[in-house]
Amino acid sequence: MHPSPEKQRDMLRQMQTIRRFEERASADFRSGAIYGVVHSYIGEEAVAVGVCAALNREDQIISTHRGHGHCIAKGADLNRMMAELYGREAGYCKGKGGSMHIADFGIGMLGANGIVAGGIPIVTGAGLAAQLEGKGRVAVSFFGDGASNAGPFHESINIAGAWKLPMLYVCENNMYAVQTPAAKSLAFKDVAARAAGYGIPGVIVDGNDVLAVYEAAVEAVARARAGDGPTLIECKTYRWRAHTERPAQPDYRPPEEIEAWKKKDPIPRLVRHLKQQQGQFSDEEWQELDKQVLKALEDSVTFAKASPFPATDAALEDVYAD
Ligand SMILES: Cc1ncc(C[n+]2csc(CCOP(=O)(O)OP(=O)(O)O)c2C)c(N)n1
Ligand SMILES: [Mg+2]
């Protein structure tokens, strides 16, 4: 069943916020205002938003190196996110982590991870904790097609299947791991097929259709809450930009492939759906929504720039627990 029109509008706002956040982050990285590294999620917004729309605040997620979208979809504060990318004290990690280290336990965002597949066992532990606590919470792992070739993925879904942990394993199959096409590192076509080897359901979804992602997630969440164990959801999608924003990184993907996927943009797709379904969603409302999103982002950049860089002698603070 489709979510209510109000919820669909929220989902549209979130996808557009991710899109605009990423545009800004890439531009500011290239101009030298943001340090470290930035991996753009543009093109894949429907995955994070569709899945997180099926979750409660208490449910927990873990992200990847391409994690801004997951943070935004789970409800992270744009100001603190932007300040973190800018390396400022007001950021989520006091400016010492950057793009790949944003966590907010208050909203169930357990963090990003620069280690490919590194988050999968951590969030599987959160799934075990949820099961032991017995309050009906679920845990969600986001990861890429490349990560699904790494050992931690297999070990985690094996134990989650055996113990029926309340988990969703969400593979964002964007067809590449840096420059390596999935077809060169996976003998079959679908990551979802791997689920059979671990005795759990494997579902394939159009990852550019936010409503389809949402519906698959709702079903998997219901299974998990009912004690029936994890589901592997493979979302077929595509990143529009190069692997990272670092200059001089070659992008060997065929330009016509990139163009073809841009035509499957998940955002206008939901706009069209809203217009057809509701009739009353007008171009003016869409422009107004985008204006508000841009304003919120502009404010987040102002907030970031107003915050100082962390002091050098604070470098070791928060490294060890008290
Ligand atoms: C353990 C490990 N190996 C290699 C890398 C370098 N690396 C960073 S991202 C990436 C590709 C990840 O591909 P995928 O899981 O498909 O995610 P995507 O970038 O496509 O979202 C690699 C190999 C790393 N960060 N960690
Ligand atoms: Mg990939």
User: What digits encode the pLDDT tens for the residues 61-118?
Assistant: 999 999 999 999 999 999 999 999 999 999 999 999 999 999 999 999 999 999 999 9
Instruction: Using the mean position of ligand 2's atoms as its centre, give its distance from the Cα of residue 177 in Å.
Output: 4
Segment 213-236, tens digit of pLDDT: 999 999 999 999 999 999 999 999
CA-118 nearest atom, ligand 1: 1
Whole-number Å distance between alpha carbons of 172 and 117: 12
pLDDT at 1: 74
Average pLDDT, the chain: 96
Residue 53 has pLDDT above 80, yes or no: yes
Domains in the chain: how many in total?
1
317 lies in some domain: no
pLDDT at 284: 94
Ligand nearest to the CA of 149: 1
Whole-number Å distance between alpha carbons of 65 and 115: 8
Instruction: Using the mean position of ligand 2's atoms as its centre, give its distance from the Cα of residue 28 in Å.
Output: 24
Residue 322 has pLDDT above 80, yes or no: no
Segment 145-180, tens digit of pLDDT: 999 999 999 999 999 999 999 999 999 999 999 999
> From the CB of 310, is ligand 1 less than 6 Å away?
no
Q: What is the CA 92 to chain-centroid distance, rounded?
A: 17
58 lies in some domain: yes
Nearest C-alpha neighbor of 200 from the set 168, 223, 231: 231
Residue 281 has pLDDT above 90, yes or no: no
Segment 283-294, tens digit of pLDDT: 999 999 999 999
CA-114 nearest atom, ligand 1: 25
136 lies in some domain: yes
User: Model's pTM, two decimal places?
Assistant: 0.97
CA-116 nearest atom, ligand 1: 26
Instruction: Using the mean position of ligand 1's atoms as its centre, give its distance from the Cα of residue 164 in Å.
Output: 28
Which residues partner with 167 through β-bridges?
139
313 lies in some domain: no
Question: Where do the DSSP E strands lie in the chain?
Answer: 60-62, 139-144, 167-173, 176-177, 180-181, 202-206, 231-236
CATH assignment of the domain containing 26? 3.40.50.970
Report helix angle 119-133 to 151-162, nearest 10.
10
Its domain, for residue 209, covers 5-305
321 lies in some domain: no
Q: Which residue has its alpha carbon closest to ligand 1 atom 13?
A: 177
> From the CB of 68, is ligand 1 less than 6 Å away?
no
pLDDT bucket at 278, cuts 50 / 70 / 90: low
139 lies in some domain: yes
Instruction: Using the mean position of ligand 2's atoms as its centre, give its distance from the Cα of residue 294 in Å.
Output: 28
Q: Which residue has its alpha carbon closest to ligand 1 atom 19?
A: 177
> From the CB of 144, is ligand 1 less than 6 Å away?
yes
> From the CB of 242, is ligand 1 less than 6 Å away?
no
